[in-house]
Amino acid sequence: MSYFGHVFTHLRKDLQLEWRSRDSVVGMLFFALLVVIIFSLAFDPTAAVSRQIAGGILWVALLFASFTALNQSWTREQRNRVLDAQRMSPSPASALFLGKALANLIFVSFVELVLAPFFLIFYNLHALGQGWMLAVVMPLGTWALVCNGTFFAAMSLRTRYREVLLPLIMVPISLPALLGMMQATTAILTGESDPGIWIRLLVAYNIAFTTVCLLLFETVLSAE
Amino acid sequence: MNEARQADESARTTGLLAAARLDGVSKLYGGFAALRKVTVEFAAGSSTVVLGENGAGKSTLLRMIAGLIAPTRGAVHVFGDEPRWQRRRMAYMSHEAMLYDELTAMENLRYFARLHGGCVCGAPEQALRAVGLDPALTRPVGQYSQGMRQRAALARALQTDPELLLLDEPFSNLDVDSAKHMVELLMEFRTRPVSTAAAEQGARGRTIILTTHQAHLAEPLAETTLTMRAGTILSVSDAAREGER
């Protein structure tokens, strides 16, 4: 089987597991919705203020919501020691990582799609800049979150306080990407600046971190 | 290390290659030594039962042969190579199912068969039937009884047609009848001829290494019995030689 055949096998299995349990997506969705609604009620922003703060609120909500899914995705592998069976198979470790990161991308993207109408209603939003560019920023930002998150969740898998450790490691390392996605989203919503530089930052960040994660994943997986 | 490689080379040429060999292997977890300078060889085509109390180092020994943990000192060879390069030729079964609770046994087996790169057509069905499970069962593994889970786990290990089968406490949580049935399955597995490709590579039959603390259950498989205590090998006894005496 080809490398991408292995990736597809892992991806399909993760989608199947989530379809049966639905615990990652449901948990993420409710958390993200709560954050969006609470911030809206707390600040009661005008349309102009909304455009300024919406990018930050959206990505912070997605970042914190994604922690639950990222931890959950590896907990499933640890249950019944399935991870040992994975490690014993001759399949490349990086294919497991890529399959899982793609599955997480699909889960977080689904949450974004459900969240979008609520966000538009609660924050009374319409983009003053080039709104179509959100279709570029959202997948790039989401990939930055799930790629790093899947990697660091695997790294903290064998630690006692993994739920705490994941945000502690992930947030500082994701800061450039978080800045890129927030600034790009705000630039698109307000139309006051060009989001191009932030999008380029996100692309560069994603290329660098995806490469590093793929190269180092086998070491992380076999760490004792 | 070089001596071990030379020994492997000479063994390879004489056709007596060991399925697994540990040379002066120690495993330390902080100050605790799970294995202490263990040197042991498991002949290809043999069946070995490793006995010992809890904490004797049986599981560590097996996980090391499987390549799941690395030795702190010493070297481990499987078919004369590092364990990680021989994953296609071995299978490992632990006392935990190593299967996803949310999937059916068939879905689990198909998934692992695909990862193994082998032909998915037929092998999972055959393996499940061999252990007495219905491949059409729609219940997820999470709803299986302990005995069914162990049988599904054995099917997962057997479906890849391994030359070296590592079994870590396979009878734990099983009643006596289920354990006896599992032993019968393993006895049958031992008699199966190896694949043509494996035979061309010099395979000399199927090798089983099984750890347990229920010696009476594993007796039919105990061609060689290895007893461990506190991370060391206390004794090695050969059933054929014992019989001659």
The per-residue pLDDT for A165 is 86
The per-residue pLDDT for B92 is 94
Of the ranges A116-125, A170-179, B131-140, which is most confident?
Answer: A170-179
Provide the terminal-to-terminal Cα distance of chain B, rounded to the nearest Å: 37
Look up residue B220 and give its DSSP letter: G
Q: Which residue has the tokens 């049988």?
A: B151
> Burial letters for B156-173: b for 16+ Cβ neighbours within 10 Å, e otherwise?
bbbbbbbbbbbbbbbbee
Of the ranges A11-15, A45-49, A219-223, B88-92, which is most confident?
Answer: A11-15
Residues of chain B neighbouring A16 (CB-CB closer than 8 A)? 102-103, 107
Q: What is the pLDDT of residues A20-29, one digit of tens each?
A: 988 889 989 9
- Contact B101/A91, CB-based, under 8 Å? no
Per-residue pLDDT at A111 exceeds 90: yes
Q: Give the mean model confidence (pLDDT) for residues B12-23.
A: 72
Give residue A193's identity as a one-letter amino acid code: S
Q: Give the mean model confidence (pLDDT) for residues A35-55.
A: 82
Q: What is the pLDDT of residues B224-245, one digit of tens each?
A: 999 999 999 999 988 766 656 5
Per-residue pLDDT at B15 exceeds 50: no
3-state SS of chain A is: CCHHHHHHHHHHHHHHHHHHHCHHHHHHHHHHHHHHHHHHHHHCCCHHHHHHHHHHHHHHHHHHHHHHHHHHHHHHHHHHHHHHHHHHCCCCHHHHHHHHHHHHHHHHHHHHHHHHHHHHHHHCCCCCCCHHHHHHHHHHHHHHHHHHHHHHHHHCCCCCCHHHHHHHHHHHHHHHHHHHHHHHHHHHHHCCCCCHHHHHHHHHHHHHHHHHHHHHHHHHHHCC
The per-residue pLDDT for B243 is 59
Which of A1, A21, A222 lies at the smallest CB-CB distance from B102?
A: A21
Q: How many domains does chain A have?
A: 1
The per-residue pLDDT for B203 is 62
Q: Give the mean model confidence (pLDDT) for residues B71-77.
A: 94
Q: What percent of chain B has pLDDT over 70?
A: 85
Distances (CA, A) of B21 to A85, B6, B29, B40, B66: 22, 13, 22, 6, 12
Range of the structural domain that residue A21 is part of: 3-222
Distance from the Cα of B212 to chain A's closest Cα (Å) equals: 18
ipTM associated with this complex: 0.86
- Find which of A10, A77, A80, A219 to mutate to test the B interface (most B CBs within 10 Å of its CB): A80
Q: What is the pLDDT of residues B91-130, one digit of tens each?
A: 999 988 899 999 999 999 999 999 987 655 678 888 899 8
Which of A9, A16, A222 lies at the smallest CB-CB distance from B115?
A: A9
The per-residue pLDDT for A182 is 92
Q: What is the pLDDT of residues B175-220, one digit of tens each?
A: 888 888 889 889 988 888 777 666 666 666 889 999 988 888 888 8
The per-residue pLDDT for A53 is 85
Of the ranges B71-75, B169-173, B191-195, which is most confident?
Answer: B71-75
Higher pLDDT, A164 or B66: B66
A–B: how many Cβ contacts below 8 A?
73
Q: Give the mean model confidence (pLDDT) for residues B25-42.
A: 92
Q: How many domains does chain B have?
A: 1
Distance from the Cα of B97 to chain A's closest Cα (Å) equals: 6
H or E element, residue B171: none
Tell me the CATH number at B14: 3.40.50.300
| Whole-structure pTM value | 0.87
Q: Give the mean model confidence (pLDDT) for residues A55-67.
A: 89
Range of the structural domain that residue B177 is part of: 2-244
